[in-house]
Structure 1
Amino acid sequence: MQRRTFLSGSAALAGAALAGTPLAFGQGKLETTQVSIAVGGKNLFYYLPLTIAERRNFFKNEGLEVEISDFAGGSQALKAAVGGSADVVSGAFEHTLLLQARSQMFREFVLQGRAPQIVLAVSKKTMPNYKTIADLKGKKIGVTAPGSSTSIMASFVLAKAGLTAKDVSFIGVGAGAGAISALQSGQIDAIANLDPVMTKLERAGDIRVVSDTRTLADTHTVFGGNMPAGCLYASQSFITKNPNTTQALTNAMVRALKWLQTATGSELISTVPEGYLLGDRALYLDAWQHVKEAMSPDGLMPADGPATSLKTLQTFDDTIKDKPIDLSKTWTNDFVKKALATVKA
């Protein structure tokens, strides 16, 4: 096979890729074939492209042996990467900004979602007389994990209504059956979570939705612009040392994103683990229709996305308000552009 290697002159990116053929045909080109990925709530649609790349062997086709560790929320997945037990995180883009504020340089290299898909809702059981966001003062809000994207979204909505995170109690409830049980049993008064969890609660008549970011239009209403969501990100040192491996990961994720654009319901159901369905295949497919638009069609970061994310965090997070954040160092489209030029769905 004829290959050409593209080497970036910048050590910050050091993006190398093979043109025309997948890396699987030349495993010697990979700096490492074994990659550990941390994720918080793998069953959620937010991370569906990761599951597709894994289950349809797109990672293996790139010559990679990927080990995925699932945590209760994105903040815990982030800790795994910072602590060195994971190479890459499948998580929320805004974490790269929060990390830079702590002088830790991490960079997004392929986008999974172009809308957060997070829904904030109140319990009809414990808050039957809910009228405005102000009514959440003093209440318990269930999130996947404190510090995760679900608590970030809820904090932003609270801030716009004049409340702070100190006015409520954030309770970690995970992203599956535990979250549903916590809401239905009255342990929490409100919940910020994602599909299929939220569609199941909505269908059961347990919640009243007060803020929704499952569509692009709703996302623009809440955040005022494009709000990047799930992505793969890694430390800049990992990307610099492993450009071909980073490219291989990107190739696999772009293939997954392309596959999702045309996949039928039956193909989706047959690909994801049974446990993702929460015991109701029809509901899972209905929830998929709610969030399908939120999936990135190509893995590219929208030009205004990083700024929207930073503005959101600066609204309520004191740790980042006065920090000089260099957005250009938190993301790159270089790997995705090369994948789009060479990878077929």
Structure 2
Amino acid sequence: MQRRHFLLSSAAAATAVAAPSLVRAQSLEKPKVTIAVGGKNLLYYLPLTVAEMLGYFKAEGLDAQIVDFAGGSQALRAVVGGSADVVSGAFEHTVNMQTKGQRMRAFVLQGRAPQVVLAVNNRTMPNFKSVADLKGKKIGVTAPGSSTNVMANFVLAQAGLKPSDVSFIGVGATNAAIAAIRQGQIDALSHLDPVITILERAGDIRIVTDTRIVAEADKVFGGPMPAACLYAPQAFIDRNPNTVQALTNAIVRANKWIQAAGPGDIIKVVPEGFLLGDRAVYIDAFLKSKGALSPDGTIPEKGAATALRALASVDPALNNAKVDLNAVYTNEFVRKANAKYPRG
């Protein structure tokens, strides 16, 4: 009987070792999860793509369905409307949504600086001297209300301009944005890589503000400004803590892989379509943006206050809004993920 018990126990243990993903999947409240993102091809969301392409979501027992939209504001609407579970988007949306009575919480960081670049069109504004010159001009953003729009508003506010002093035009996340500049449809562009690097190398634009540089982003916003993150309704997090932990684990592993990766490693992982036809440009863009990507997924403690200040500079009514900044983010899942994957 003892021998039979030993054999049965050994078989059960072997089965558990042979199928770790099955064991993990059984512990997840929602193994199939839908992630909405606005502009998946952008380097802003590189950790999401790496986690998907290297199988980190699958390794956690997740069937992660990623749905791409033209901008972050549209990705947010997908979660609010119930067609997606989680947003891969800009951190400031969690603050903004709380002021509207909807509790959203960020739980793992992808970018520690916005990586948004404001640039002017050399064709339509060859004599540009200062941000004040943008009054009455057309500014392209990924989508109205997205982080590229917020960043542009913030820079305009510092120059004494209101959002209504310019016209914002949604130009998407890829080739349409490039065409809008080259065809003279817009006078300036608030956008991300690789689009910015493509236009810069071709001499189409002149950079005004560059938050791919962490120090410049901190100076512009007056503190650490968290960028891309995974966030979800608080109710989803409360109902699905194991699922949220699995998502966090995957992104933290991706963050660490990116920091150790070289340009050649990145090129092998990202889909060919993300390169926009020029590998050299994509590598250049990656090197410029790498420092702004999060090394370990941790959300800075002062980040929520910085985001609120940025939003209030655009909408002064937010200065009087009652916001619980501790409720818009948590590092609880990140701490566990880093303990599990200390080296990625």
Counterparts in 2 of 1:220-235, with a 5 A limit? 220-235=218-233
* 1:218 CA displacement: 1.0
State the identity as a percent.
61
What is aligned with 1:161? 159
One of 58, 67, 70 as aligned partner of 1:72:
70
**2:180 corresponds to which letter in structure 1?**
A
What is aligned with 1:178? 176
* 1:318 CA displacement: 4.1
Q: Which runs of 5+ in 1 are unaligned?
A: 2-20
Question: How many residues are aligned here?
Answer: 326
Q: What secondary structure, in the 3-state scheme, does the structure 2 residue paired with 1:298 have?
A: coil
Counterparts in 2 of 1:34-183, with a 5 A limit? 34-183=32-181
Q: Flag the 1:330–1:24 CA change in 2: closer, same or farther, 3 A.
A: farther
**1:114 corresponds to which letter in structure 2?**
R
* 1:319 CA displacement: 5.2
Distance 2:273 2:142 in 1: 17
Q: What secondary structure, in the 3-state scheme, does the structure 1 residue paired with 2:231 have?
A: strand
* 1:220 CA displacement: 1.5
**2:170 corresponds to which letter in structure 1?**
G
Cα distance per residue 1:301-345 (max 9 Å; x no partner): 111111111111111124533210100100000000000011252
Q: Flag the 1:61–1:123 CA change in 2: closer, same or farther, 3 A.
A: same
One of 25, 28, 31 as aligned partner of 1:30:
28
The alignment status of 1:191 with 2:189, answered yes or no, reads: yes
Distance 1:182 1:129 in 2: 19
What is aligned with 2:14? none
The answer to whether the 8 Å contact 1:101/1:319 transfers is: no
Q: What secondary structure, in the 3-state scheme, does the structure 2 residue paired with 1:246 have?
A: helix
Distance 1:297 1:114 in 2: 8
Cα distance per residue 1:219-256 (max 9 Å; x no partner): 11211111100000000000000000000000000110
**2:97 corresponds to which letter in structure 1?**
L
The alignment status of 1:218 with 2:206, answered yes or no, reads: no
Q: What secondary structure, in the 3-state scheme, does the structure 2 residue paired with 1:283 have?
A: helix
Distance 1:330 1:62 in 2: 25
What is aligned with 2:333? 335
What is aligned with 2:303? 305
* 1:43 CA displacement: 0.4
Point out the structure with the larger helix share.
Answer: 2
Q: Flag the 1:290–1:22 CA change in 2: closer, same or farther, 3 A.
A: farther
The answer to whether the 8 Å contact 1:125/1:186 transfers is: yes
What is aligned with 1:293? 291
**2:163 corresponds to which letter in structure 1?**
A
What is aligned with 1:17? none
TM-score normalised by structure 1 residue count: 0.92
* 1:263 CA displacement: 1.1
Cα distance per residue 1:145-185 (max 9 Å; x no partner): 00000000000000000001000000000111110000110
The answer to whether the 8 Å contact 1:225/1:304 transfers is: yes
Q: Flag the 1:24–1:113 CA change in 2: closer, same or farther, 3 A.
A: farther
The answer to whether the 8 Å contact 1:224/1:308 transfers is: yes
* 1:264 CA displacement: 2.0
The answer to whether the 8 Å contact 1:59/1:249 transfers is: yes
Distance 2:20 2:50 in 1: 18
**2:301 corresponds to which letter in structure 1?**
A
* 1:26 CA displacement: 2.6
Q: What secondary structure, in the 3-state scheme, does the structure 2 residue paired with 1:293 have?
A: helix
Distance 2:39 2:113 in 1: 17
**2:248 corresponds to which letter in structure 1?**
T
Distance 1:72 1:319 in 2: 28
Counterparts in 2 of 1:239-254, with a 5 A limit? 239-254=237-252
The answer to whether the 8 Å contact 2:263/2:287 transfers is: no
Counterparts in 2 of 1:258-277, with a 5 A limit? 258-277=256-275
The answer to whether the 8 Å contact 1:24/1:60 transfers is: no
Q: Flag the 1:177–1:319 CA change in 2: closer, same or farther, 3 A.
A: farther
The answer to whether the 8 Å contact 1:24/1:61 transfers is: no
Q: What secondary structure, in the 3-state scheme, does the structure 1 residue paired with 2:112 have?
A: coil
Distance 1:73 1:151 in 2: 10
Structure whose alpha-carbon radius of gyration is higher: 2
Moved over 6 A (4+): none
Q: Which runs of 5+ in 2 are unaligned?
A: 1-8, 10-18
**1:27 corresponds to which letter in structure 2?**
A
Q: Flag the 1:319–1:78 CA change in 2: closer, same or farther, 3 A.
A: farther
Q: Flag the 1:141–1:260 CA change in 2: closer, same or farther, 3 A.
A: same
Q: Flag the 1:236–1:22 CA change in 2: closer, same or farther, 3 A.
A: farther
